[in-house]
Amino acid sequence: EAGVAQSPRYKIIEKRQSVAFWCNPISGHATLYWYQQILGQGPKLLIQFQNNGVVDDSQLPKDRFSAERLKGVDSTLKIQPAKLEDSAVYLCASSFFPSGSTDTQYFGPGTRLTVL
Amino acid sequence: GENVEQHPSTLSVQEGDSAVIKCTYSDSASNYFPWYKQELGKRPQLIIDIRSNVGEKKDQRIAVTLNKTAKHFSLHITETQPEDSAVYFCAASINQGGKLIFGQGTELSVKP
């Protein structure tokens, strides 16, 4: 089966600019996650969608980050304006996740963002 | 909130030796514990997971043990090979949320 797809793979921007990342989950997966992985650390959840609804966005810096999941399939994560500390790899993951259970999360290749 | 501590941060072993990585978690409601392997510049890939209703799970050269009372779980790799070299992350999840809380990672180096 096809895996989680992300684009772009790399992005370099100046601080205060805006940037958007795209994710296409595995077909049929209801739950989609965006994680931020700073160099040398484990991934940290930014936002979790189930279908097109937000389940958890408690760690999302809402003054600059936004995310949406179009029609419960693809998702975009946006940063506006970017700060130096946003430099990280942004990982998208998906899982089948029937309500009330925990299921395997499959990760995409990530987008490496460098903010100068 | 949930916190996961992982040790050691780096581990170097000779090919053929065993490697053990340990994690502790803070929330006793956690019931799902996956381990991911991440090679340089690649995506995290699930290598093994365990749920709280079992104490041990094996898959060829890798095994995971869980001690719910002590709130810790460990990854064991036997007969290590150079291709096992990577960063390994443990994680914990509470059933309803599905959100994974990751440890800080262990960089494993297997020397031939």
- Look at residue B85 in the predicted model and tell me its pLDDT: 97
Q: How does strand A10-13 pair with strand A19-24?
A: unpaired
Q: For residue B9, give both structure tokens.
A: 């941060």
Question: Which residues, 6 or more positions from A102, have their beta carbon under 8 angstroms from its beta carbon?
Answer: B31, B32, B51, B93, B95, B98
- Nearest residue in A to B101, CA atom: A44
- Identify all chain A residues contacting B105, using CB atoms and an 8 Å cutoff: 40-42
Q: Is the predicted pLDDT of residue A101 greater than 70, yes or no?
A: no
The answer to whether A36 touches A88, Cβ cutoff 8 Å, is: yes
Q: How far is B90 from chain A (nearest CA, A)?
A: 9
Q: Which residue has the higher pLDDT, A24 or A98?
A: A24
Q: How far apart are CA A5 and CA A107, in angstroms?
A: 9
Q: Sorting pLDDT into bands at 50, 70 and 90, what band is B87? A: very high
For chain A, give the mean pLDDT.
92
Q: Is the predicted pLDDT of residue B68 greater than 80, yes or no?
A: yes
Subunit contact B44:A43, Cβ cutoff 8 A: yes
**How confident is the model over B37-54, as pLDDT tens digits?**
999 989 999 999 998 888
Subunit contact B96:A42, Cβ cutoff 8 A: no
Phi, psi of A90 (to 5 degrees): -105, 115
- Look at residue A71 in the predicted model and tell me its pLDDT: 86
Q: Sorting pLDDT into bands at 50, 70 and 90, what band is A104? A: confident
**How confident is the model over A24-46, as pLDDT tens digits?**
999 988 899 999 999 989 999 99
Q: Is the predicted pLDDT of residue A99 greater than 70, yes or no?
A: no
**How confident is the model over B18-27, as pLDDT tens digits?**
999 999 999 9
Print the SS3 string covering A44-81: EEEEEEECCEEEECCCCCCCCEEEEEHHHCCEEEEECC
